[in-house]
Amino acid sequence: MLLLDLRSGEEIAAVEVRYPHGVIDSSLPEGGSELVPDTALQDPGDYLEVLYRGIPDALAAGGVSPEEVIGLGIDFTSCTVLPVTKDGTPLCRMDEWSTRPHAWVKLWKHHAAQPVADRLNDVATARNEGFLSRYGGRLSSEWYFPKLIQVWLEDRAVYDAMYAFVEATDWVVWHLTGSLLRASCSAGYKACWSATEGLPTQAFFEAAYPGFPDPSEKLGTQFAPPGHRAGFLRADVAARLGLGPHVAVAVGNVDSFVSVAGAGVQEAGVFVTVVGTSICDLVIDRSEIRMPGITGVVENGILPGYFGYEAGQAAVGDMFAWFGDRLLSLDRAAGASGSNWYAELERGAASIQPGESGLVALDWWNGNRTILGDADLSGVIAGLTLATTPTEIYRALLESVAFGERRIVENFVEHGVAITEVVACGGIAERSDLMMQLLADVTKLPVTIPASSQIPARGAALFGGVAAGSERGGFDDVETAVATLKPATQRSFEPSPLDTSTCIPSSARSMTLSAGITSSGSTA
């Protein structure tokens, strides 16, 4: 929860509220049998609780009065979807459905629909479906239709009872405003929708799953770009939040994608990389190029008027944590002078020269997202000797991430999307100078780190300001908002004049794990 000053760009207050139920993956809160493997659910009540607790807390922490808040922007994980009735009630909150797993929110990392995704990919490939080329040639089991079809196959009553199967970000906006308006970002990246081509045809779905109804039935057909005003706060909701009734609410956003605006980027050629447990890479361009090796390209998916490209790596911070926590069993708090093991290892790794240890790693600890798109791939460490140290391996892991990024950059360039610089945000960008220097050295591009640890929330808040409009103290267009609120540069890294041509590239892609809801405000 971030309270952002739309004039100065100052981050007035940041509040974190944890979901009471977290991730539901063993049994439902209402009881019932054990959930099947790869199930990952959430309780939509948690989302509202976070809003109703966090917004008043943020106002209090920032010393901001309710009338100073003019807009709200939400960003959310995606594809995180739930079945709802026509009035927006989640089925899982109704007594008659609450013990059925398919009535609950399917979190982005719910992977139990993999067989459906496999089938859709096989049929789409066999039919040479054109929409596939917007997604690097493959759909993910994490996306909308695999999840929806899983419900249709396994609990037809839930399928029939739902009025819509909506992204959580859209559902929250619906709750706040009283009207349903879906985001083009999640529809484009996760539900195979395109502004110009619409959805995959019913004939395709019929070929894969005979009898499956019109794909737009539960998804809808109208989608709005980022910054579009979904409406104003409902009076009763405003009262509960401690806000005034004339607060504009922007259409929902997806967490990683909103980082582009949050980082102040609105130029083609800038490679925005969100480096956390995994990496999400984002690039905007005026033209659409269908290419392999990306997660997707969506018009208006990131900024209005641009095609937004997504790529990424599946294990980054997760891989480093595996090394220190799971393999070495290092004590996070027990370094010299109170620093943690990350800092200890990084200090040592920084003094090792490129190629000095002879180690090469492939970072596929969680499969490869892009450019190979193969979740079954796994990691490699080569060059091990009796003299190899943990510090050397740690550096090799950092290098493997940098080479994964380089391969993704090369893929864009090879297909006609020029890349001239890198803007990095996320926890590891903030924390690891060495990772950032390696990223600059290996990609041979300058790397800039914005001075904010709330980049996605800044993006969501910024779109809240656009939804409010200039007459209320916000912005009339996204371009002005991004330019006005661009964060300062905290650190920057120039490529060293190193020869890295002898190293082996690797690659991967990811979704960030963070799930946050963000409020925006302007001091009047």
| Single residue of 26, 287, 385, 502 touching its own copies by CB under 8 A | 385
| Single residue of 35, 328, 350, 513 touching its own copies by CB under 8 A | 328
Residues, the chain: 524
From the list 105-113, 126-134, 387-395, 504-512, the region that binds its own copies by CB under 8 A is 387-395
| C-alpha span between 13 and 276 (Å, rounded) | 22
| C-alpha span between 96 and 106 (Å, rounded) | 19
Of 351-380, binders to its own copies (CB under 8 A) are: 358, 364-366, 378-380
| Single residue of 162, 238, 241, 319 touching its own copies by CB under 8 A | 319
383 binds its own copies (CB under 8 A): yes
Write out the two tokens for 322. 């595996």
114 binds its own copies (CB under 8 A): no
> E strand or H helix at 403, and its extent?
helix 390-414
504 binds its own copies (CB under 8 A): no
From the list 149-157, 242-250, 261-269, 389-397, the region that binds its own copies by CB under 8 A is 389-397
61 binds its own copies (CB under 8 A): no
| C-alpha span between 520 and 261 (Å, rounded) | 14
With tokens 């060059």, the residue in question is 383
Shortest CB 139 distance to its own copies, Å: 23
Give the DSSP letter of residue 471.
G
C-alpha pair distances (Å), 396 with each of 114, 340, 416, 501 = 32, 19, 30, 15
* Cβ partners under 8 Å of residue 267, min gap 6: 284
Specify the residue, 143 or 364, whose C-beta has the smaller distance to its own copies: 364
513 binds its own copies (CB under 8 A): no
329 binds its own copies (CB under 8 A): yes
First-to-last alpha carbon distance for the chain, in angstroms, is 20
Shortest CB 379 distance to its own copies, Å: 4
Specify the residue, 282 or 319, whose C-beta has the smaller distance to its own copies: 319
Helix axes 390-414, 341-350, angle to 10 degrees: 80
Specify the residue, 239 or 384, whose C-beta has the smaller distance to its own copies: 384
Q: Would you list the DSSP string of 243-272?
A: --TT-EEEPPEETTTTHHHHTT--STTEEE
381 binds its own copies (CB under 8 A): yes
Shortest CB 292 distance to its own copies, Å: 24
| C-alpha span between 3 and 64 (Å, rounded) | 9
Encoded amino acid at 357, one letter: S
C-alpha pair distances (Å), 207 with each of 67, 122, 129, 201 = 54, 11, 12, 10
From the list 66-74, 140-148, 252-260, 388-396, the region that binds its own copies by CB under 8 A is 388-396
| Single residue of 235, 239, 327, 451 touching its own copies by CB under 8 A | 327
393 binds its own copies (CB under 8 A): yes
Alpha helix ranges (H) inside 162-246: 168-177, 184-190, 202-208, 216-219, 235-241
| C-alpha span between 168 and 394 (Å, rounded) | 37
8 binds its own copies (CB under 8 A): no
342 binds its own copies (CB under 8 A): no
Specify the residue, 278 or 437, whose C-beta has the smaller distance to its own copies: 278
Shortest CB 425 distance to its own copies, Å: 23
Q: Which chain residues interact with its own copies by CB under 8 A?
A: 315, 318-319, 322, 326-329, 358, 364-366, 378-386, 388-390, 393
